[in-house]
Structures are given as structure tokens and as C-alpha cells.
Structure 1
Amino acid sequence: MKKKRMYSATALAAYTAVAVGATGVLAEETIFTDVSANHPYADGINALTAAGVVKGFGDGTFKPDTTVTRGQAAKMIAGALKLDTTNVKNPNFKDIETSNQYYNQIAALVATGFVNGYQDGTFRTADKITHNQFAKILRNVSAVYPVDATALLTEAKVVFNPTKQLTRGELSSVLATMLAGATPAPEPEPTPEPTPEPETNNYKLSIMHVNDTHGRVEEFPKLMTAVNEQRAKNPDALLLHAGDILSGTLYSNEFVGQADLPFINALKFDAITLGNHEFDLGSSPEGHKALVDFIKAAQFPVLTANVDFSKEALFTGMFSDLISSEPENGKIYSGMIKEVNGEKVGIFGLTTAETKDISSPGSIAFENYIDEATKAVKAFEDKGVNKIIALTHIGFDDNAAYDNDQILAKSVPGIDIIVGGHTHTELKEPVIVDTNTVGEKKDTTLIVQAKEYAGFLGTLDLEFDEQGVVVKHEGQLIKVADYANDEAGLKLLAPYKEKVDAISSAEIGVTLTEELVSPRTSETIKVGVRNSETVLGNIITDGMLTKAKQYTDKKVVMAMQNGGGIRAAIPAGNITTGQVITVLPFGNTLALMDVTGAEIKAAFEHAVKDAPKESGGFLHISGAKLEYDSSKEAGSRVVSVKYYDEATKTYVDVADTETYTVATNAFTAKGGDGFDMFKKAYEDGRVTDLGLSDWENLKEQLLSMKEIKYTTEGRIVDVATVEAK
């Protein structure tokens, strides 16, 4: 297909003039009700609208902050470049029919080489497009038109963030800037036959990866099919798991990893690292026995360089704090050396130090991840290994006070690839880190992560030069749902599924007329279970308070539940046991704490420190009322904390010097989510674990309720929000 020229500024002005003549609207005028004249992208939006490239919605808005899909972006880009979309060849994507509304534009862009699809033969028109993906398209465009992607984004006032999803306003601004600023390019010469790439001594390595599967055992048969397909193409590809296999579903509750294990073994993982949820059962009567049993039966080594097991007797003889070139299955190492295609590849693991606050590791300790990573890299290099993978469960962009992959990549030279987990981040393409902490250039480190729940299989193909530096790469996420179930996998699943289905489907005897939601915030949802009072949070804490009062003669004044522990909604209809367990899947127990009023206030200051942003430590409450002001500085936000005094039938202020008995889950009582004031109470012997299951308490509370109210009650109020209204 013949490629069209870019418009010069003069041509665009002329084109706009024609549009003005037809519409009577100037590009400089405000066209849309939600795009004011001083909006950063107003010029671009109005110019493209006047030129007929884009249009708004029927309600008179443009919605500049709404994200665009790959299909929508294709339509806008093809329109801006004035590509011929009539005489197009079939791009042969298996998920796009000729009737698709974006078919012609996508076909035109594919023919020019400006866009392409995924390795599995799909284009995925409904997927959001990230800044990184858009920058790649601009680089493809620059092969034909004089476009500098970096300069173009800067001039268009778009702050580049590789994982951020592109908005309508950003895309409009970039396209308008490109049209207005580019000089006409000559018609391209006929494309010559591609010449074969010269032979190199580059070393090629392929990696498959998953993370945060969280007991989604039913997804494994499809994952097996996806992995088998990739291995058919590349039998030597590594398969790595970046942690959090345990906790999250009925399979985890019932089988504590033993339902996952047959699949993990059958998939032939080369290595896994340990996530924070692997340590969730540390405070149970059996302690970490389930984790130990899981590791001992594993047909692969476990890697983590910054976890100290020396004070936990159950792990005696299982951990070796060294880099092994002959790792044994069912053992834990700092790292290992694996020979792939005749070359040695070093792999080491890291587990987030945040585990001590968000799980129950007990006497297991966590060392500085930068120090341990530096030691691991040196150990590999001392053995002549210069291709190094960090298999991490520290998060792509998690709290820098603990650890995260981006800081790791900038801080530790010599790491080529970081296969990550923990933050459940969907990195559709590898993120490139090529500068250090002070902005100096460094050898490339690639970061990959495959979101969560075995929904994606990540793939990464790399080439290294003779010095072990990554010089070429291609990576993507393959959607596991698009694959059929592996028959052998279904046979493995059957006995576990039969038992789980029986538990899950048993109705408890309560019917909901509306869903009890457990929302997470987004661009459109501002109220979430981790930043606001919810009906489900109220019911959970009411059940905790009721149960606590039955088990003590003390006056229990309130109950608290961390929002991060509420993991799912309950849909309308007849409630089943499985649905209740899915809400509270971590096997927590009810605990009583004797704490001062000052400690209670400090706890609520900690709970609302990030509001209105989400925090797993946000506390839902029963028997009390909290007022806070999110406009104030963190640490000075609590306006008042009151508890319900049954004697006077009124709410009474919590007094700093008084001691109160409160109920919460054992995780929070031991200082989980950073509640240091509760940790101190636990260490002082002021906590009593009643050993009562949290999900069973919720089930009993639902059964006891004569009527379920589907509105919140004003237990938690942000006065800044009230005043703003």
C-alpha cells in the first residue's frame, strides 16, 4: 500500500480552514464542555476535531482523561496520518473479523508497518494502550516520517510513564503536534527485499513467567496448554514463578498448597521465589508446616537471597545461603546457576521485607534486598556468569521504604532481567531501565511482570552480546483464557475440584437482594474497601464485636478489620460457604487487645494516612465512629474517635490515658500492615488470640441478621469530603 505524506503546518492550517468553512468552528475555540481553553491538551483536541480526525460524545463532552483502547488508537492514528483505509489487505488477526469497526484502520496501519499484533496472532482491540506501546508505534512511524518520539511527547506536554495507560487527550495532543510540526517527507522508495541479518555471536535466551497465582488452581490446565505451546517453539525456555502461590481461594484454604503442587511440578518450573503470602500460616497452631511440606515435595529449587530461616526449626537442613550450580529439588537457595543452550545463567530470588508487616513470618527474618542482591551478583560474576536474572517478589512500584524492582534495577549493576511479582502489575511489554540512581547510563535491565491469578503467561526472548549485555529483546503477555484446558491437567484437577465444589456450593441459608460490594478504586470509582466505610466491612466488624463479647467478661468497646484483608464481594442471591471464605481467605483468627486511647488514635492515624488513596491498613470499625480530615498532614488527621457506651446509649470520646479492650484479627493485632502500636501491645502480652475463624464469624453474623441494610451508616467520615460538598 502507498504510504501517505505527513501534513506540514501550512497543510494542516489549510485543512483546518476547510473544516472551519464547513463547521463554523475554530480550532482555538472551546468546542467541548469538559475541555476548557486552558486545558493542557485543548489545542490538540480542538485542532483534530476541526480537521475531522476525532469527535466528541453526544452529551457535548470529549472525555480527555478517558483511556483509549488499541482499536480506538488505531482509528485516530490512521485518521491523523490520512492513510488509505479503503484498499486494504487482510491483516490476518484471528480476533478481528472484517466487520470489526476498526478493521480498515488496523489493516492500513499494519500494511505500513506502524503497528503489529501479538505473538499468538491476535491484535486485542479492546486492550488499553500504554505510553510504552504508543512510543513503540511512534518509533515505527519515524522510519517513514521525520518524527522524534521523545521530543514529540515532550512538545505535546505528555509526561511519559511506560506503564500508564494513554488517554484521549494525550493521544490527540501528540497527533496534532506531529501534524503541525512535521515537514513533508518524500514519498518512500519501494521497499526492497529484506536482507538477512548478519550472523552474530549473540547468545539467545527465552523465559516464561507467572506470579501471584494465589491458589487459582482451576486456571492451571489452561496454563499448561499455553506453556506446552511455547515449549514446542523453544524447548529450552526457562519457566519461573515470582511468588505468592498460597492463599486466596478455597483450594488454598482446604489444601494449603497441596492442590497447587501437582500442577507446579507438572509444569516443570525451573525455579520459584517465595512471596509474602507463603508465610500467612505462621501464626497458626501448625506454624509454617504447610509451607515446609510444599517445598519438600517440590520438583524444583526455591530461591530467596534475603530471607533468614535460621531461627525457625521447621526449616532446618532445607536452606543453603549460597549460590548453587547443582541445586536440589525441594531445597531453598540464595540463587542457582543453570546451563541453558551451552551458557551459564544465574538466577537469584528476593522476597519483600514488607512480609514482616503484611504476613505472619514469626521468627523468620528479612535482610536488606539491595545488599543481598549485590552479594548474589558478585557471587555469579566470580564464577564467570554474566547473564543474571533476579526472580523477585518485591513489587514493580511498591513502597520504596521497603523495596521495589525499579530501585533494584537502578541500584545493583549486573542484573539483566527482573522477573517480578507482588504488585500484580500488568507489564504488557518489558520495562527498560538503563540509568542508575543518579541518572547515569548503565547496561540495560529489563523488568517483566504478568499481573496475577495465572491469567497471563509472560514470555521474554533476549539476545546477549559476548559481554553478557542485553542487546535485543521482545516480550509480551499471553492471555491464558484463550487456550483450551490440558486434558492431563483436568485429570489432576478433578479430585480437588470435587471437594472444593461441594464446600463452595453449600448454601448457608441467607439470601441477598443486592450485592455486598468490595470495590477497589479506579479512575471512575473513588470509594473502595481500602479507603472508605463499606457495608461489607460493617457486617464483618459487627460479627467480630458480637463474637468477642461472647468470649470475655471484659468490656469490648469496638472491633477493627483491615481493608486489605477483605478480598471479594458477595453477589446477590443465596450465599454459599465458598463465597464467605473468598471474602476472608487468609485463615485469620479473632483476637482481643488491651490498648490505650492514645494507641487507638495512633492506629487510626496510621489507617487514614494515605486517604483518599488506598491502603491495606485502612480500618473498618464496629461499635465506634471515626472522623478524620484527609486534607491535613498525615499523622494529624484524626478529628475524633468515639465508642458506643451501652450504659448511656451514647457515643463517648476515647480518652488517651484510659485502657480499652478492642477486637481485631490476629494479623492486625500482631502489627500487620505496619500497626506498630499493636505490635507493641502484642509483645507486652496485651493480646489474646481467641482462635476463632474470621470467615466463620462472618457466616454466623450473616445468619443472625434479620435484615441487611445496603447503605453505610456514617461510621467513618472524612470531614474534608463533607466540607467539599
Structure 2
Amino acid sequence: DAQIQLGVDIMTPHWEMSFGADRVKEIIDNDFAKAGIDFVAQNVTYNDEDFDREGEHVFKPYVMREINGIPVAIIGQAFPYTPIANPRHMVSSWTFGINDDEMQETVDEARSNGAQAVIVISHNGMDVDLKMASRVTGIDAIMGGHTHDAIPKPVVVSNPGGKTLVTNAGSNSKFLGVLDLDVKNGKVAEFQYKLLPVFANLIEPDKDMQTLITNIRAPYKSKLEEELATTDDTLYRRGNFNGTFDQVIVDALLEVADAEVAFSPGFRWGVSVLPGEAITVDHVMTQTAITYPQVTRNEMSGETIKVILEEV
């Protein structure tokens, strides 16, 4: 509902997959179809569990949009490690991956179909986006969001076919990435990029969106405002590897689950709690209720732990 109200045109998935394959398809085929939202992902295909469709794309790899008279291809790149970072059963018949070769084929197809500019919206993460930009030719820009990095200006990556811009625009609507392309003679000649900060306290909220949020929160408002403790230090999640709120989370997991190792993804997320401020249920839910609520204790090999630490 919030995405529809926001007016999203095109998206590629990450956490949406934690709803499970059936629910994801239901939303796309019904709610998003009615609202005109395109859901694109070139790197999600059916596996041998769905024998009749094995190898076929689950979603549209890309869409073509005419923008100011210029045909533009927007390609989706879903989070490639979804079955590792989330329970596999949620998307058991779908295969994910970085899929550079398939991305190249998709770019080539879009170009052959008349695209004068090719944009990839990506949940790879900044480092993987940079590597993909160096390997795949024909992409004008990769606009990523997975690792929540606030990149003030695009990184220009050289590849055998030319150059590709790679950007990230933070998270939590802190910034808006605005990319203007000057297309001449069928290709991008110049670009302008602005990472615009969103000063939420200075902008009047959209009335319909505010009403939607207020109504959703209303049944839980008193619980969310419940104060649990007071912090002596700043609690934050701002580092690429960890933050003080991450440490609180893993300490709690170790104690409650009697585990030897606990993981918390190092990403830039949520609001910070300043010294002397109350920690509310809302703060805790913001940091821990991102997807499914289950917390499990599992036996893991050293090899699995290494994969999680290095690749997820």
C-alpha cells in the first residue's frame, strides 16, 4: 500500500522475498499490476524444482520506458544471495545469482530493441555493482540501493565497451538520487547527478501518505511508545561491518539463545538513539522486525560461516 501511495514506477526485489514466492507473485499480479508498478529482475529464474519452467525468468528482466522522447531500458538486479541470507524454503523453486553473462545478454537485447540508454536498478551492493560495471558492457548507469551507501557522486567505471556510472543513495529516504542523461545520436553523451538530502522535518508530509502511516500504526501506538531502558551511549547502525546497535543485538542473541556465535548484518539502517534517550519498543522493532520474526539457533560449519561473512 505504501509503495502504491508513494507512486513507485519500477522496482527490483530484496526483502520482498521473505513474504514467500506465492505471496510475492500475488502482490505483483494483482496489486502492482493494477497500480502500474513494474517488478523487474533479470537474475531470478525457475530451477529444476519447477521442471516445466526451468531456466525461465520468474519476472520481467527489464522494461522499456520512453522518457522525454528517449527509449530507456531499466533492468532489474535482485539481491543475488537471497537463498543464503534467507530461509531457502521461501523461494525454493527460484534460483538467484549475480549472473554477469545473463546481464550482458539482457543489455544486448535491450540495445537491439532500440534502447538509447540502459539503467540497472540493483540490489547487488556497492562492491558487487562496481565489479559488474567493469565486466558488463553497454550499461550507462547502475543505481544501487542494497548496501545503503550515500555516494555523493557516481563512480565512473571503465570496461571494454566504455564507461558505466555506479551510484548508491543511502537508505530510509535520507537522500534522493537524481540522474539526468543527455542523449545524443542514440547514446549518452553527458550526465548530471545530484544526491539530494531529504530534510524530513522541513517538508510538509503528503496528507494521504501520512494518513496511511497513522492508520497502520494506530493499533500499536501505545505499545511502540513503551520505554524499555535508557542508553548511556549512542546506539547506531552506520558502519559497513558493525555498529553499537548491532552489538546490542548480538549480545542479546548470545545470551537468550545460549549460542557461541551470533550474526547481525552490518548495514546502514534505522534511526540512532542518543545518550540519555529512552530506548522504546519502536526502536527495537525498527532494528529487529525487518522481515520474518523467527530467531533460530543452528549448527554451522566453518565453511558456511566463512561464506556468510564474506559473501552475504
Is TM-score (shorter-chain normalized) higher than 0.5? Answer: yes
Structure 2 gaps, min length 5: none
Letter in 1 for 2:139: I
Letter in 2 for 1:479: P
**Contact 1:450 1:458 survives alignment (8 Å):** yes
Q: 410-419 or 287-296, which moves further after superposition? A: 287-296
Aligned to 1:340: 67
**Contact 1:563 1:617 survives alignment (8 Å):** no
Q: Write the deviation string for residues 569-598 of structure 1: whole angstroms up to 9, x where unpaired.
A: 777566543233234224342435467xxx
The answer on 1:563 being equivalent to 2:297 is no
Query: Equivalents in 1 of 2:124, 2:104: separation in Å?
Result: 16
The alpha carbon displacement at 1:518 in A equals 5.5
Letter in 2 for 1:501: K
Q: Write the deviation string for residues 198-223 of structure 1: whole angstroms up to 9, x where unpaired.
A: xxxxxxxxxxxxxxxxxxxxxxxxxx
> Residue 514 of structure 1: SS of its match in structure 2?
coil
**Contact 2:45 2:56 survives alignment (8 Å):** no
Equivalent in 276, 280, 285 of residue 18 of structure 2:
280
> Residue 27 of structure 2: SS of its match in structure 1?
helix
The answer on 1:578 being equivalent to 2:282 is yes
The answer on 1:539 being equivalent to 2:252 is yes
**Contact 1:418 1:447 survives alignment (8 Å):** yes
Equivalent in 64, 78, 81 of residue 351 of structure 1:
78
Aligned to 2:27: 294
The answer on 1:480 being equivalent to 2:203 is no
The alignment's C-alpha RMSD in Å is: 3.7
Aligned to 1:454: 173
User: TM-score, normalization: structure 1?
Assistant: 0.37
**Contact 1:544 1:559 survives alignment (8 Å):** no
Query: Equivalents in 2 of 1:290, 1:305: separation in Å?
Result: 20
Equivalent in 91, 106, 109 of residue 376 of structure 1:
106
Equivalent in 189, 196, 209 of residue 471 of structure 1:
189
Query: Equivalents in 2 of 1:535, 1:493: separation in Å?
Result: 28
The alpha carbon displacement at 1:333 in A equals 0.6
> Residue 478 of structure 1: SS of its match in structure 2?
strand
The alpha carbon displacement at 1:271 in A equals 0.8
Query: Equivalents in 2 of 1:539, 1:486: separation in Å?
Result: 38
Aligned to 2:96: 366
Letter in 1 for 2:135: S
Q: Write the deviation string for residues 88-134 of structure 1: whole angstroms up to 9, x where unpaired.
A: xxxxxxxxxxxxxxxxxxxxxxxxxxxxxxxxxxxxxxxxxxxxxxx
Query: Equivalents in 2 of 1:583, 1:280: separation in Å?
Result: 16
**Contact 1:541 1:559 survives alignment (8 Å):** yes
**Contact 1:520 1:529 survives alignment (8 Å):** no
The alpha carbon displacement at 1:606 in A equals 3.5
**Contact 2:13 2:79 survives alignment (8 Å):** no
The answer on 1:417 being equivalent to 2:136 is no
> Residue 274 of structure 1: SS of its match in structure 2?
coil
Inter-CA distance 335–513: structure 2 relative to 1 (3 Å threshold) = closer
> Residue 61 of structure 2: SS of its match in structure 1?
strand
Aligned to 2:117: 387
**Contact 1:274 1:351 survives alignment (8 Å):** yes
Aligned to 2:43: 306
The alpha carbon displacement at 1:359 in A equals 2.4
Structure 1 gaps, min length 5: 1-260, 282-286, 322-330, 398-403, 546-557, 608-615, 619-672, 675-725
**Contact 1:426 1:449 survives alignment (8 Å):** yes
Inter-CA distance 581–426: structure 2 relative to 1 (3 Å threshold) = same
Inter-CA distance 471–519: structure 2 relative to 1 (3 Å threshold) = closer
Query: Equivalents in 1 of 2:65, 2:49: separation in Å?
Result: 29
Q: Write the deviation string for residues 476-498 of structure 1: whole angstroms up to 9, x where unpaired.
A: 02222243212232223221132
**Contact 1:427 1:448 survives alignment (8 Å):** yes
The count of residues paired between Structure 1 and Structure 2 equals: 297
Inter-CA distance 574–452: structure 2 relative to 1 (3 Å threshold) = closer
Inter-CA distance 515–291: structure 2 relative to 1 (3 Å threshold) = farther
User: TM-score, normalization: structure 2?
Assistant: 0.78
> Residue 60 of structure 2: SS of its match in structure 1?
strand
Query: Equivalents in 2 of 1:453, 1:491: separation in Å?
Result: 19
Inter-CA distance 293–542: structure 2 relative to 1 (3 Å threshold) = same
The answer on 1:591 being equivalent to 2:296 is yes
**Contact 1:425 1:450 survives alignment (8 Å):** yes
The alpha carbon displacement at 1:432 in A equals 2.1
- Structure with greater Cα Rg: 1
